Structure 1
Amino acid sequence: MTEIVHVVVMGVAGSGKTTTARILAERLGLPYAEADEFHPPENIAKMSAGHPLTDEDRWPWLRAIRDWLTARTHAGESAVVTCSALKVAYRDLLREAEGRVRFVHLVAAAPLLEDRMEHRAGHFMPPSLLASQLDTLEPLTDAEDGVTVSVEASPDVVADQAIAALHLTEESR
């Protein structure tokens, strides 16, 4: 059996997690999940009202994502999921999933992130929460299994860079 590899596309709001993850999942032929779908209604209401989540708000959400990844492993599948994964401790919890968990940390300058957030439609996260996310962010460390990719290029180029940097192929499934 080939190694099960889960790719967590991480970063602050507006970094392009959803777009990049969808491209990666399509190119690699893997199941995909959007982390926002794992939030309980209370978290979405809190963020919609402009209040940042606390660690206590995030732990059940992160455990649900971890458990989804483990379920994919039990199904014999690698997977792609989005998750802000802002702190090393959050990523540590995600790494508890069965299978190899790797990260693609999407980064951009704050003005670009803010511009993206102001121009996206239908998302509950207001641009006013970007500063709290940037303050909370602990960048991917050298000790973590992953890569950092700038999103200043097109989404297709960002996905190409992530695939190349992680040495992923369809055979990785």
Structure 2
Amino acid sequence: MRPVPAIVVMGVAGCGKSAVGEALAVRLDAVFIEGDRLHPPENVARMARGEPLTDALRQEWLDAIGQRIAASVASGQGVVAACSALKRRYRERLRGFHKDIVFLYLEIDPATAKRRVASRQGHFMPASLVDSQFATLEAPAADERALTLDATRPIADSVASAINLLSKSL
């Protein structure tokens, strides 16, 4: 498989972005960026209170992820980032830092996402915000450089499918 310079694993809370992204980065010998760790403290506090983020509140966060992606690519390293990237304009903002990002959309149903988020320990995102994520979600369109995976499958299956799809599409 040819090296992929930048992949963003995207989707709503509970779809498995972090788990799939980290495992994919290991398989690709790429840097892993955990987008949740780059949220400004104010955003984390807001979400912990059950308040969804606005587009304006997401800008600094998206820029931090985009800057990390660009820095990794500039240093010659492949990179996999976990970032919800729920709207097309968010994905376009990230592409402003590196135009060749491939988005890997982990598609999941609301009930499964809520169940997963409710079972997480020590995470700032409450299950009460899952509905707002689905309300915000704009699944990647056919003209975007994006691949879709079933997020209800085991992590190892998702990673294997991602590698297979990436090898065919790039």
TM-score of the pair, normalised by structure 2:
0.94
The Cα shift of 1:102 comes to 0.4
Q: Is the 8 A contact 1:73 1:99 kept in 2?
A: no
Unaligned runs of 5+ in 1: none
SS at match of 2:144: coil
| Cα distance in structure 2, aligned partners of 1:117 and 1:107 | 15
The Cα shift of 1:98 comes to 2.9
What is the total number of aligned residue pairs between the two structures?
168
The aligned amino acid for 2:134 is L
1:144 has 2:139 as partner: no
1:118 has 2:118 as partner: yes
1:92 has 2:92 as partner: yes
SS at match of 1:139: coil
Partner residue of 1:31?
31
Q: Is the 8 A contact 2:102 2:145 kept in 1?
A: yes
The Cα shift of 1:97 comes to 2.0
The 5-angstrom pairing of residues 26-65 of structure 1 reads 26-65=26-65
Unaligned runs of 5+ in 2: none
The aligned amino acid for 1:101 is I
Runs of 4 or more consecutive aligned structure 1 residues displaced over 3 Å after TM superposition: none
TM-score of the pair, normalised by structure 1:
0.93
* Cα deviation 1:78-121 (Å, max 9, x = unaligned): 10000000000000011112362000000111111111011111
